[in-house]
């Protein structure tokens, strides 16, 4: 009987160990891979949401961290310790307690999955855009005036419309994310977050982000928020509140357009300066908040279509805080602006979820008056552009462009639903082997960038 008893004991011990490993904090959390996206439902206290996030996305956070660190080292000449030091010296202490708890929860979840990152790593990752493209250029300018110009990214094409511009008179909003493909391939999380306090959120983000980052968020109280960056912006205040926390706080706690504006403009550090497009389905009003560091301006209406393609609009902000040339039609922001202005007129009274998808995948070059794959179309393909992007200091054929898209309407958002497309919204794939054969100067990126496939438009819905 001894062998049987020994086997029975082993089974009991094994069962006991497996039972002990189950963490009740994961009870309400789920993960699903769907058409290139990772959908996660996170629910509970800040630390619980963080733990669920870190645990369910541990491998994805790990691969994202590796790609981000590699690209930043190459592009900014700063190693990861530099970014960790930024997190320690002027980011971490500016965060509200609940967001520190959420980040610490992410770290705990990562540790449970044997991934050795800490709160400084996760904080630096969340501040990726504002550190690399606002703080680092500021340091460059101190060493050599003008050397930090044109570093603020010109990423994304977006619109928001309401009233006579939409098919049902209600709000329609759309956005596509432009970034380096090495980073953009990881902007594939659809996070459904139900915190114990504040709004229920559905947003796209990167693994490890507590905010959207490229910023497309819908909330259960009827707010719709997106943005496009102000390219060639200059300014950053290390003593103020990080942009990534203000973005999350606005999404989680705002109940109106005024609330969003107040949260963004309070103790603003100037990082990731954007034109924010905001809609409130309760009032059917939309607004544009153009937010710099020193200046900001708001436009709002219940009958309009507003666009963003990385161009600033306020004359004072342009003069005080940018090096942007509004008269150069050949730049990507201005060329896309021309096309989007025409499209919203052509589509007036027809904008809905389907025409919104078409807009975000548009390939018409308004300067050449023909379809093209380049920096000047809404669904950008800089990797196929012989001219590069001078306004972003990018060489020809750089592997960057529109990496995904999102669209929703007031009717869909009422049920916490949105459409999302991973990969170029036009449906075109990026195949690394073919690209590197043609452009071996970018072979260094093959370590972390192989393919970026385009998937079909997919509906996502927040859990009630």
Q: Residue 21's pLDDT band (boundaries 50, 70, 90)?
A: low
Q: How much is the average pLDDT of 257-276?
A: 98
Residue 378 lies in a domain: yes
> What is the model's pLDDT at position 410?
98
Q: What is the mean pLDDT of residues 282-297?
A: 98
CA dihedral defined by 331, 316, 126, 156, rounded to 10 degrees?
Answer: -30
pLDDT on residue 336: 97
Token readout for 48 is: 């619980």
Answer whether residue 58 is part of any domain.
no
Residue 445 in any domain: the answer is yes
Task: Indicate if the pLDDT at residue 9 is higher than 50.
Answer: no
Query: Which CATH number covers residue 396?
Result: 3.60.60.20
Give the pLDDT confidence score for residue 2 in this predicted structure.
Answer: 44
Res. 150 pLDDT band, cuts 50 70 90: confident
- Gap between the Cα atoms of 263 and 61, Å rounded: 28
Is residue 443 in a domain? yes
CB-based contact 196:278 (threshold 8 Å): no
Q: pLDDT by residue (tens digit) across 429-444? A: 999 999 999 999 999 9
- Per-residue pLDDT of 344-362, as tens digits, reads 999 999 999 999 999 999 9
For residues 427 and 382, give the distance between their C-alpha atoms in angstroms, rounded to a whole number: 16
Average pLDDT of the residues in 96-117: 98
Q: Does residue 248 sit within a domain?
A: yes
The residue behind tokens 């996305």 is 57
Query: For residue 1, what pLDDT is reported?
Result: 44
% pLDDT > 70, the chain: 95
What's the pLDDT tens digit per position in 55-76?
999 999 999 999 999 999 999 9
Pure H helices in 266-368: 315-321, 332-346, 353-360
Domain-embedded: residue 82: no
The answer as to whether 140 is a domain residue is: no
Count of C-beta atoms within a 10 Å radius of residue 254: 23
What is residue 8's predicted lDDT score, i.e. its pLDDT?
A: 45
pLDDT value at 391 more than 90: no
Higher-confidence position of 154 and 14: 154
Q: Is residue 8 part of a domain?
A: no
Please tell me whether the overall predicted TM-score, pTM, comes out greater than 0.75 for this model.
yes
Structure confidence at residue 393 as a pLDDT band (50, 70, 90): confident
Collect contacts of 34-37 with beta carbons under 8 A, ≥24 apart: 34/190, 34/458, 34/460, 35/422, 35/455, 35/456, 35/458, 36/188, 36/422, 36/423, 36/453, 36/455, 37/188, 37/189, 37/190, 37/420, 37/422, 37/455, 37/458, 37/460
Residue 191 pLDDT greater than 80, yes or no: yes
- pLDDT over threshold 90, residue 423: yes
How many Cβ atoms from other residues are within 10 Å of residue 418's Cβ? 27
Q: What's the domain range around 380?
A: 32-46+157-461
Q: Can you give the pLDDT at residue 78?
A: 97
For residue 12, pLDDT beyond 80: no
Are the beta carbons of 66 and 115 closer than 8 angstroms? no
Sorting pLDDT into bands at 50, 70 and 90, what band is 22?
confident
Mean pLDDT of 355-376: 97
Whether the Cβ atoms of residue 324 and residue 231 lie closer than 8 Å to each other: yes
pLDDT at residue 425 in the model: 97
Instruction: Kindly state the average pLDDT of the residues 93-117.
Output: 98
Secondary structure letter of residue 91 according to DSSP: I
Strands (E), 259-338: 274-280, 285-291, 296-301, 304-308
Instruction: Give how many domains the chain has, as a whole number.
Output: 1
Least confident of 142-151, 333-342, 376-385: 142-151
pLDDT tier at 19, thresholds 50, 70, 90: very low
- Which pLDDT does position 322 carry in this prediction? 96
Mean pLDDT (the chain) is 94
Question: What are the φ/ψ torsions at residue 151 (nearest 5 degrees)?
Answer: -90, -30
């Amino acid at each position: 009987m001894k062998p049987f008893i020994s086997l029975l004991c082993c089974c009991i011990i094994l069962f006991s160990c497996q039972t002990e490993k189950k963490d009740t904090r994961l009870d309400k959390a789920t993960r699903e891979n769907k058409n290139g996206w990772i959908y996660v439902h996170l629910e509970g206290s800040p630390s619980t949401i963080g733990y669920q996030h870190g645990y369910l996305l541990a491998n994805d956070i790990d691969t994202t961290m590796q790609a981000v660190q590699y690209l930043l080292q190459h592009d900014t000449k700063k190693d990861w310790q530099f970014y960790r030091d930024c997190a320690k010296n002027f980011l971490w202490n500016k965060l509200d307690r609940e967001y520190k708890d959420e980040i610490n929860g992410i770290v705990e979840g990562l540790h449970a999955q044997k991934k050795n990152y800490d709160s400084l790593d996760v904080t630096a990752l969340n501040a990726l855009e504002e550190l690399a493209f606002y703080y680092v250029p500021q340091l460059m300018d101190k060493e050599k005036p003008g050397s930090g110009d044109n570093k603020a990214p010109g990423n994304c094409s977006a619109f928001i419309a309401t009233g006579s511009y939409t098919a049902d008179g209600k709000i329609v909003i759309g956005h596509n994310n432009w970034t380096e493909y090495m980073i953009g391939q990881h902007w594939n999380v659809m996070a459904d977050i139900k915190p114990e306090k504040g709004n229920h959120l559905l947003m796209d983000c990167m693994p490890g982000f507590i905010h959207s980052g490229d910023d497309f968020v819908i909330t259960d109280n009827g707010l719709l928020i997106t943005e496009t960056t102000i390219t060639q912006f200059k300014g950053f205040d290390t003593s103020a509140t990080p942009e990534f926390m203000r973005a999350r706080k606005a999404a989680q706690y705002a109940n109106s357009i005024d609330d969003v504006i107040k949260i963004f403009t309070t103790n603003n550090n100037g990082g990731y300066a954007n034109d924010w497009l905001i809609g409130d389905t309760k009032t059917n009003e939309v607004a544009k908040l153009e937010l710099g560091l020193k200046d900001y301006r708001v436009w709002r209406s219940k009958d309009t279509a507003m666009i963003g393609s990385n161009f600033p609009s306020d004359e004072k902000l342009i003069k005080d805080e940018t090096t942007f040339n509004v008269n150069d039609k050949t730049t990507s922001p201005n060329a896309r602006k021309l096309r989007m202005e025409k499209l919203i007129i052509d589509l007036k009274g027809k904008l809905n979820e389907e025409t919104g998808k078409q807009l975000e995948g548009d390939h018409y070059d308004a300067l050449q008056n023909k379809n093209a794959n380049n920096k000047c179309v809404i669904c950008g393909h800089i990797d196929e552009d012989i001219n590069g992007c001078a306004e972003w200091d990018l060489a020809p054929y750089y592997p960057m462009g529109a990496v995904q898209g999102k669209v929703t309407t007031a009717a869909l958002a009422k049920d916490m639903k949105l459409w999302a497309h991973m990969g170029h919204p036009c449906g075109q794939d990026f195949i690394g082997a073919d690209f590197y054969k043609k452009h071996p100067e970018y072979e260094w990126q093959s370590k972390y960038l192989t393919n970026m496939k385009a998937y079909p438009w997919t509906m996502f819905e927040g859990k009630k």
